[in-house]
């Protein structure tokens, strides 16, 4: 028997006429890939059911998918599935509560155990990989259309940094290979995800020029509203620059601190070794061991976060 409730979830899906799939706010390719991939599999496999994608705007990731219109009435008697979202406050569109039954499918540490059923595999590279596993476990009853394969592949590519991060396992590669057999053009997806706008490219130049790197390899950059306005870039558009400091020799841990219009700072934290999600949790955030997000009320809290990251980096280097 599988460790994971793949069969139970399929049985629940069969019982509902309307299934509404949500994901997290400020979606990344894995949020959209897992949500859209699941929706496309279910649409193809159960043509008589209503399968709906819910959530806020997807920004410049609309080459992947766009959302459906959803009314409050649609939730009556529905099954709601949330993908790629560790905790309830991050679910995009809080009407996820209005369904009859709730399923969580995710790959983040399961700190907020919400929903009636959870399929959480923290060893999966991405939530899209879990959706592919769900499909494979139920292959006799489900169909994977080309569009689902494209979306799941995009999600895996997004969350593994195109197979760069240590979360990439032989299983991840086997899943990616299987998805590639489905006739979409992987190279097209890779290129779409690789492109940055000219203004983000210019912001990248600013980051490379102004990043500070400490002796123990903690890199830091502050992006104030003034800087974002200078480059005409929104917070959402900063997602493609998060991995950049990690490409620089000597950088072990890094934080990109983005001032929000409300005044606090969104902290995007990454690591090549030390486990940083405990730091994120202490500052109104969370996430993966090597990729977390937090919130700082002011610059003093940013300094505090950097100090905590510095302690981790020092310990790591002395081990
Ligand atoms: P980001 O830097 O926003 O790309 O987030 C990196 C990782 O941290 C993602 O896996 C998020 O799910 C997680 N994360 C970001 N912000 C938060 C938050 N406020 N609370 C919990 N987890 C978060």
63-74 pLDDT, tens digit each = 999 999 999 999
CA distance 118 to 136: 18
Does pLDDT of 239 surpass 90?
no
Residue 232: band (very low, low, confident or very high) from pLDDT cuts 50, 70, 90: very high
Q: What percent of the chain has pLDDT over 70?
A: 100
Q: What pTM value is reported for the model?
A: 0.92
Strands ordered across the beta sheet of 117-120: 50-53, 18-22, 79-83, 101-106, 117-120
CA distance 317 to 26: 34
Ligand 1 pocket, residue 255 CB under 6 Å: no
Ligand 1 pocket, residue 19 CB under 6 Å: no
Does pLDDT of 1 surpass 70?
no
User: What's the confidence (pLDDT) of residue 236?
Assistant: 83
pLDDT tens digits, one per residue of 205-218? 999 999 999 999 99
Ligand 1 pocket, residue 155 CB under 6 Å: no
User: What's the confidence (pLDDT) of residue 153?
Assistant: 98
pLDDT tens digits, one per residue of 23-42? 999 999 999 999 999 999 99
Does pLDDT of 120 surpass 90?
yes
Q: What mean pLDDT do residues 90-114 have?
A: 97
- Cα(269) to centroid(ligand 1), Å: 9
CA distance 38 to 36: 5
Alpha helix stretches (DSSP H) within 74-183? 127-137, 146-159, 170-180
Residue 268: band (very low, low, confident or very high) from pLDDT cuts 50, 70, 90: very high
Q: What mean pLDDT do residues 90-97 have?
A: 97
Does pLDDT of 240 surpass 90?
no
- What percentage of the chain's residues is helix, strand, coil (to nearest 5)? 45, 20, 35
User: What's the confidence (pLDDT) of residue 2?
Assistant: 76
CA distance 284 to 296: 8
User: What's the confidence (pLDDT) of residue 237?
Assistant: 86
- Cα(72) to centroid(ligand 1), Å: 28
pLDDT tens digits, one per residue of 104-118? 999 999 989 999 999
Q: What mean pLDDT do residues 2-16 have?
A: 96
Closest CA to 9 of 76, 81, 110, 74: 81
Does pLDDT of 159 surpass 80?
yes
CA distance 167 to 185: 24
Residue 271: band (very low, low, confident or very high) from pLDDT cuts 50, 70, 90: very high
Ligand 1 pocket, residue 285 CB under 6 Å: yes
Closest CA to 25 of 71, 86, 75, 93: 93
Domains of the chain by start residue, with CATH: 6-194 (3.90.1640.10), 198-318 (3.10.310.30)
- Cα(138) to centroid(ligand 1), Å: 30
- Cα(25) to centroid(ligand 1), Å: 10
User: What's the confidence (pLDDT) of residue 261?
Assistant: 94
Does pLDDT of 258 surpass 70?
yes
Residue environment code for 67-88, b if the CB has 16+ CB neighbours within 10 A, otherwise e: beebeeebbeebbbbbbbbbbe
């Amino acid at each position: 028997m599988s460790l994971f409730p793949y069969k139970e979830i399929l049985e629940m899906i069969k019982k509902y006429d309307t299934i509404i799939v949500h994901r997290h706010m400020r979606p990344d390719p894995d949020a959209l890939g897992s949500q859209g991939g699941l929706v496309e599999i279910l649409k193809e496999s159960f043509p008589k059911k209503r399968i709906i994608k819910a959530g806020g705007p997807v920004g410049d990731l609309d080459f992947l998918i766009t959302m459906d219109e959803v009314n409050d009435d649609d939730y009556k008697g529905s099954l709601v599935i949330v993908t790629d979202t560790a905790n309830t406050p991050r679910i995009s569109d809080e009407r996820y509560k209005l369904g009859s039954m709730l399923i969580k499918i995710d790959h983040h540490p399961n700190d907020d155990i919400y929903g009636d059923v959870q399929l959480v595999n923290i060893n999966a590279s991405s939530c899209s990989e879990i959706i592919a596993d769900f499909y494979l476990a139920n292959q006799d009853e489900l169909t994977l259309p080309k569009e689902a394969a494209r979306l799941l592949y995009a999600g895996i590519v997004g969350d593994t940094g195109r197979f760069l991060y240590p979360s990439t396992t032989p299983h991840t590669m086997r899943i990616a290979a299987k998805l590639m057999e489905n006739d979409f053009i992987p190279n097209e997806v890779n290129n779409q995800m690789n492109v940055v706008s000219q203004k983000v490219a210019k912001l990248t130049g600013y980051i490379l020029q102004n990043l500070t790197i400490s002796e123990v390899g903690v890199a830091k950059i502050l992006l104030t509203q003034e800087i974002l306005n200078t480059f005409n870039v929104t917070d959402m558009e900063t997602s493609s620059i998060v991995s950049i400091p990690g490409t620089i020799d000597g950088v072990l841990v890094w934080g990109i601190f983005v001032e929000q219009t409300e005044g606090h700072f969104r902290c995007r934290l990454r690591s090549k070794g030390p486990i940083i999600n405990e730091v994120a949790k202490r500052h109104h955030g969370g996430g993966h061991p090597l990729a977390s997000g937090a919130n700082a009320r002011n610059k003093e809290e940013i300094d505090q976060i950097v100090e905590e990251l510095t302690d981790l980096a020092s310990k790591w280097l002395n081990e």
